[in-house]
Structures are given as C-alpha cells and as structure tokens.
Amino acid sequence: MGTLRGRLLPPVLAIAFSALLCTVTLMVSGANPASGIAAMVTQVGEGSVAVDIVNSAAVYYLAALAVAIGFQMNLFNIGVEGQFRVAAVTAAIVGAAIDLPAGLHAVVVILTAAVTGALYAAIPALLKITRNVHEVISSIMLNAIAAGVIALLIREDMFGELRGSNIGTHTIPESGWVGGIGFGDRGTLFGLVFLVLVIGVGYWVMMNRTRFGFELRASGESPTAAAAGGVNARRMILVAMLMSGAVAGLVAMPELLGRDHTYLITSPAGYGFTGIAIALLGRNHPGGIALGALLWAFLDKSSLALDNVGVPKEIVTIMQGSIVLSVVIAYEVVRRVELRAERRRVGRQLGANGGGTGNGGATPAAATAGGAS
C-alpha cells in the first residue's frame, strides 16, 4: 500500500462508483442526473456556499481526526458523538458564565471543551483497561447518556434559557467569540479553521515524527510486538482515548465561538458519525481526511441546490453511504491486486534466478487463492 497509486486509486474508484450508482438511481427515479450534478457544482459559486463548505469541512475534520487517533491504536471510538456534544454544552455554559478579556476568554472555552471531551472519553478508556469492557459498547452507551446529560444541563432551572420555542444555553459574551474572515455576502470563514489546520499538522508530526506516535501505531498494528518492545499497552489505550476525546471536544468549537454563541437543543448532532465515515475515507491520514472532509462538506452544502432543480436531495445521502462502502471495498481490491503484482514480481525474480518452473506455476495459484479469500 506504500505506492501512491495504492493510496489514491481506491478513493477515486469509490467516488466514481458511487457517482455512477447515483446517476443510475436518479435515472430510474425519473430525474435528470446531469442537471443535478450541474446544479451542485454551480451551487459552490452561489452566495456563502463556498465558505460554508470550508467551515463545515473544518468541523468534520476534527471529528474524523478524533476517530482516526483511536483507529491508529485499533480503538473504535464510536463515542466521539457523545464526547463532542457534552463538551460543546459544557463549554457553552462555562463560556457564558465567565467574564475574561477577549482572547483569553475564548482560550478558556476551548480548553474547557477539550478537557470535557477527554474526561468523557476517559470513562470507556478506564472501563477497558480495568474491566476489559469493549470501547464500542461502552462509548455507544455513553452517547445515549450524553443526550440525557445535555437535556439536564440545558434545562431552564439548570443552565438554560428559553428562546421562543427553543431552549439554549445563555449567550457567550462577545469577549469569548472568535472572529472570522469576512467575505461580505460570501459568508464568514471561521477563525478556528486555522486552529484546525494546526491540529492537523500536529497530528501528522505526532504520528510520523515522534516516539509516541510510533508506539501508538505499533500498538495498533501488533499489541504483542509492541508489548515485547516495552510499550505499556494500557497506558497507550488511556492516552489514545484521552487524545481522541480531547479532539472530539473541539468539534463544536468553530460553530459555537464563530457563529452560534449558544448551544441550542436544535444544535446539530451526528458529527461524530460523519467523522467515522470520513476517517475511513481518508485512511486515517491527515491529508486524506482533509480531502474526505471537503468532499463530505461539498456534498452536504451543495445538495441544497438539488431542491431547486427538482432532484430529491436525499440522493446525496445515498452517495455518501455508497462512497464509504465502496471505498472500503476498493482499498481491499487494490490491496489484493498489488499483493498479486508483488508476488508475481517476486516469482519472476526467483524464476530469473534459476528457481525452476515450479515456482512460476505456484504463483498464479497463490494469487488466485488470495483473490478468493
């Protein structure tokens, strides 16, 4: 999988396949696929859509990164959803309650979110290392608990306030806002998009250039080998989950500090699950995740245009689902094709070195077996 082709081919294949699938679906349902795609592409140039895509991608990027940190260690943190929501509501409450100078205020809110996310992720981590409870089970249950915690915290007699027919936390004072780059009618780019970039670079450096990152990946690929090499597996699980939770805690920050300034009961949920899909799409690579997040955000935001040309915009959900499904398959297919090519190459070299015809005969058989398994 080291080759560039092996990295890029699967996502491209997956996107092409899902586009094809959607085209067929649209044609079967009687809509015009060409006008739908054209509407989606031209939508990017409309109003604030381009900026919205980048803003949304930044949010998705954080969610996917949180999931990816767990994936590197073979931990499936399905609880990013709950971690980010609990962190968002806690940060919103703290942000509205404190009064600090501009700048510092926002920093405190962001740190609160990261710490809350990490603490909420610590529960499944501790359960796993002490009681061996699988993190998927515990964290998905904590997602449901998170919904209850939020409903409790946001109550009027707790920290919430009535906003018409809606309930939300009190508004964060202006000193806690993070300004963005305004493009007039084209929208406002969240200032925290740059923090997201920094986190992405930091993730890459940590994974590829530090001893810790090496140990993390090693524990993920082979826990026994890592243990033999002196890596404390329990400590790695705890640290990986805490980091995953801390990044998850930041997910809602761009929207909270850059636009909404309050957490409403109608504030969006589901980013945690989107993050899982994007982490799969981007193969846990910081660059791959960035492209995946942009693609996802593009599909989400430009789908608003589909209503205008009479194409049901649910088609985008089909497209997103089929992209994830086919990217997983495509990676596997490409991996096997490359494996076969490699075997053939090795076989040829052995044959050239005078290994006899026996080897040459065995190679295709092995390849077939590999392809069928």
Partner 1 sequence: MRRMRGVALTAIALTGALSLVGCAKDTGGGKSPSGGTAAGQGCKLSPKPDVPATAATSSTTPEKVDGSALKVGLAFDIGGRGDASFNDAAVSGLDRARAEFGIKPENVKEVTASPNEDEAAKQTRLRQLAQDGFNPVIGVGFAYAEALKAVAPQFPNTRFAIVDATVEGAPNVTPLVFAEEQASFLVGVAAAYKSKTCRVGFVGGVETPLIQKFEAGFVQGAKAAAPDIKIEKKYLTRAGDFTGFQDPEKGNQAARGQIDAGADVLYHAAGASGKGVFSAAKSGNALAIGVDSDQAKQPNLADVKDVIITSMLKRVDVAVFDLVRAVARNEVATLPKTFDLKVDAVGYSTTGGKVDDIKDVLDAYKAQIVTEKIKVSDKPGK
Is 150 among the residues that bind partner 1 (CB under 8 A)? yes
> Contact at 8 Å (CB) between 132 and 72?
no
**H or E segment and range at residue 5:** helix 4-28
Is 197 among the residues that bind partner 1 (CB under 8 A)? no
- Report which DSSP code applies to 264: B
> Contact at 8 Å (CB) between 124 and 138?
yes
Is 250 among the residues that bind partner 1 (CB under 8 A)? no
Binding test (CB under 8 A) with partner 1, winner from 30, 148, 230, 354: 148
Is 48 among the residues that bind partner 1 (CB under 8 A)? yes
Is 318 among the residues that bind partner 1 (CB under 8 A)? no
> How far is it, in rounded angstroms, from Cα 171 to Cα 162?
12
Is 140 among the residues that bind partner 1 (CB under 8 A)? no
* CB of 186 or CB of 285, closer to partner 1: 186
**H or E segment and range at residue 193:** helix 192-209
Binding test (CB under 8 A) with partner 1, winner from 52, 82, 117, 286: 52
> How far is it, in rounded angstroms, from Cα 160 to Cα 173?
15
Binding test (CB under 8 A) with partner 1, winner from 9, 19, 122, 269: 269
Binding test (CB under 8 A) with partner 1, winner from 174, 221, 307, 342: 307
Of the chain, the end-to-end C-alpha distance in Å amounts to 19
Instruction: Report the candidate in 262, 323, 322 with the shortest Cα–Cα distance to residue 294.
Output: 323
Is 182 among the residues that bind partner 1 (CB under 8 A)? no
> How far is it, in rounded angstroms, from Cα 158 to Cα 170?
11
Smallest distance, partner 1 to C-beta of residue 167, A: 6
Smallest distance, partner 1 to C-beta of residue 31, A: 16
Torsion 219-222-223-224 (CA) sign = negative
* CB of 26 or CB of 236, closer to partner 1: 26
**Any residues with CB less than 8 A from the CB of 228 and at least 6 apart, and which?**
none
> Contact at 8 Å (CB) between 191 and 178?
yes
Binding test (CB under 8 A) with partner 1, winner from 9, 31, 133, 147: 147
* CB of 310 or CB of 361, closer to partner 1: 310
Residues that bind partner 1 (CB under 8 A): 46-49, 52, 55-56, 59, 147-148, 150-152, 154-155, 162-167, 187, 255, 259-260, 264-266, 268-270, 300-301, 303-304, 307-308, 313, 317
